[in-house]
Structures are given as C-alpha cells and as structure tokens.
Structure 1
C-alpha cells in the first residue's frame, strides 16, 4: 500500500509525459488464473479477461498506450480482442483506464461504468485535480451507467458491481464466480481503498471531492461484509501477484485464499486512518 501511495503522489508532481513507475508499463506474459479468468495486464497494473461462449469481459485498461499490449496478450492466450463485448473498470484513474478509449475503439465493446465515475471517464480527468495535466487520459464515452448492486450478465457469467467509494467517487469492487480445478469459487476484484494522491482535508483547496472521508468509511464497512475465495486487485503489490504467479502449477492455486480480503482491508483501513490524521494535522 505504501508503494502505491508514494507512486501515485509522485505522479501528481511529474510533467505531462509522466508514466509512473516502470512496472506500470512493463509488459509481462499473460496467464490463466482460473478456468475462464486470465491476467492480461502489465507487470504492475492489473487487467483482467473473463471469457465466455458469447463474448468476453475486460476489466480495466491500464496506462495510456497499454491497449496494444493488452490486445497482444489476449491474442497470445488464443482469444480475439474483437470478441470482447464488455469493458468495465475498477476506477477512473489514468493508471487503470488510460488505455480504455483505445480498447473501446479497437474492440467495439460497450463501456460500462458506475454513475459516479462517468464524468471522469468522459472528460479524461482526475476530479478535484483537473489542473494536474499529468493525470489526464484519453476520454471515453460511457455506454451504460450502472449503480451499486447492479448485476451484469454475459455468456452465463454474472458480475455484481459494489460501490466502494473514496479512492474515486465511483470506485467499483466486482464480485463474480469462477471455477478452478472443478471447484466453484467466489472471486472479488477490489477497487482500491488507498488514499494515494487524494486530499482528505485541505485548508486551501478542500477535499478531493465533497464527502470523501465518509465515502472511505462506507467502503471499509461494505468490504467487511463481503467474502471471497479469491482476492484480486488493480496493482500487483496489492495482492502479491508476483509471488502467487511463481507458485502456479506447483500445488493448490495460490490465488485462492479466503482470508486475504479481510487481511488486506484491515491493513488499508489502518493506512487510511494514519493518512487522515496526518492531513488533519497539516491542515491545522
């Protein structure tokens, strides 16, 4: 969590051509996580492919320029980018939707987003920090707006959208079933609850957006009610991607751990409280 906070904060201070940590744009070979769930992101930024007989679902779009590599990864796995029918997002920040507009143009897929992140996606800006041009990305038109608890269905797969706001106003945690070695499991793709570059309190500029502190608290409360056999996240370090990937095929699936969600949420909530205390002290 600390590495993500530092990286995101550093990105705010960099010029327009900033690309963030090298891992965010470093290609890595795609791989299978469960029966119809695949990783097609970079070394540091997650992008997820869920395949179905009626077309595929892609969650997140990586950094600007990532579409080419993501599409290459999809092809290497034996699938066609043109068969992607739904584009989803965890949250509308440059490192997770920077390539979404290109992916939409290339695949013709429908872009679906939580109502509270629609404006950010369609303007390509970081709400509350619109003046920080380093955080801008290519805007993309949202084809379908969803709300908390809404279910998307394609080819027999159902994904539930959970609004877990704070990191962005429309931060969306996705839950969906997966099958691994004949076992039916519940997967959860966590949006993020890190503070990163967000202003929780500020004497000069105000919070990143009105109600952000209460939103974080709502997100933690909701995440504590959820369960997951498989915890996934937008940044590699948020769920130990490298270590798990190394262990694939050497025994039980290392991505399966019913305790990880609540362990990660507890750690993030502790980080949030420390960040809030620091910002409150600085604002005095």
Structure 2
C-alpha cells in the first residue's frame, strides 16, 4: 500500500487500535529512510524504527501483535533480515507499542529493554496495557534503561531519558547520525506525548494521582532546549511524517527540520498547562 494512501481519521483512539488489529493491511506503509541507516518500519497509526549497526539491528517499538508481519515485511523490503534484530527497545508499556514484543523476540532472539518504572507498572496494572482483548503475550525484559548508561550495539549508541507522564516509565531516545557529506545530525524520539492518560475523567476512573501531570510537564520542560535535527514520532501523525515521504530524495531529507522538535514540545507544554489550569481535581501535594 502506498505511503500516501488516504487513511481514515477516527475521533476515538480505540478505533485505530481496532482497525490495526482486525484490518492491519489498511494501515500498511512502505518503509522509508528518516536518517542514515535509520528507517521507519511501522504503520500509519504507530511508529517503529529500525537502526542498522555493525553488529545487527535495533528495533524501537513493536507495534501491535497482529501488525508484526507488517514490520517484518518492511524490514525485508529494505533487504535486511528480521532475524538480525538484536535489541528491541520499547518506549512505553501501551499495547500499540509493546503488543508485538513477544512475537518479535521469539522470531529473532532479540533482547527486550523497557524502563523499570513501566515494567513494574505493567505488572501491577495489566489493565493499563489497553490491549482491548486482542492477542498479547507476556515477555521477559532483559535489561532496564538507565539515563547515565547509553545503549550501544556495534557502532551505534542510543541515549535514553526517562520522560514520565503518558506512563510512569515513558522513555525517550536520542542518537546521532552522520550524513554522506559528513554532517552530524541529532535524532530524537519522545517516547509518548499523549495526554489521553492525564485528563480528569481518566485519573478519576483509575484512581491515579494528578502528580502524573506534574511529571509530564517537568519532563517536557527538561527536553525543551534539546537541539534535535530529526524528530521521530512515536505516532507518525504527531509530527506529520507521512505527508513528507514524497519529498525524500538523494539530496533532500524532509525530516531534517529542527523546528519540528521545538514545535512538538512547545505544543505539548501548552496543552498540559491548559489541562492543569482547567482541571476540577485537587492538585497533588
């Protein structure tokens, strides 16, 4: 399916999950390069990113279990082998990002990494995975992220930063690439900017503290001044990725735009500040 296909727009995020699990072919997207040796291999709803290293492949996020075949097919379209995935890095513990983790690990032997905070939250609150009854296999986490310990595989290094809010252990990823003309570009992927878990109704229904909003705001402010050249969306629509694919060329990377990161972070800071100001719940002490 063409990357420029007219995908439906739903008001309820659950409808995207239903579509993605029951009719995954409707959200199929051909892989495309976002940075040197770095590709989008996800779908129209949720992102997944493949990094080639000198010692194998790193995959960031798994998409949902019924969509794993799309991820594998995209990797094969690049002339690479899914069995060469050595590390599977998960941004946070929601189903659309971790639902295919077990299948990918079993097929490739990849080690899975997740934040300790989200691993504990997932075990304590499995209902917060939001799998909506679709296939989900539990998985073993080989290691946890540490902000002061970069992840290295072969000649590629990824720095992680805990950015709680969307979930307690949402983690963001940062790495550099070198272009064919020798320029160093900084890539950034915020692990989860969604506000759907921070509204009054959600917090009240699940008995969670409004402190999660303060965590979100603090983490966004921490990343505000980061100089990011290439922004990767945990969901491509967050930074309008799919509309830019047609502009990819030998001398044009449409994703190389420092204003995108600043715009995304500033937008979300404004939105969470408004949500806090308009909240009818008592703020956490």
Partner of 1:239: 239
Q: Give, in whole Å, the separation in 1 of the partners of 2:25 and 2:277.
A: 29
Greater Cα shift, 177-186 or 133-142: 133-142
Partner of 1:110: 111
Q: Give, in whole Å, the separation in 1 of the partners of 2:75 and 2:122.
A: 23
| 1:79 aligned onto 2:77 | no
CA contact (8 A) 1:126 1:135 kept: no
Partner of 1:142: 141
Partner of 2:164: 165
TM-score (norm 1): 0.84
Q: Give, in whole Å, the separation in 2 of the partners of 1:124 and 1:59.
A: 23
Partner of 1:268: 268
CA RMSD of aligned residues (A): 3.1
CA contact (8 A) 2:39 2:51 kept: yes
Partner of 1:7: 12
- 1:111 deviates by 0.3
Partner of 2:254: 254
1:185-264 map, 5 Å:
185-199=185-199, 204-205=204-205, 207-208=207-208, 211-249=211-249, 251-264=251-264
In structure 2, relative to structure 1, the CA distance for the partners of 1:118 and 1:204 (3 Å cut) is: closer
TM-score (norm 2): 0.84
Matched pairs, number: 273
Partner of 1:89: 90
- 1:66 deviates by 1.6
Structure 2 unaligned residues grouped into runs of 5+? 1-7
- 1:179 deviates by 2.2
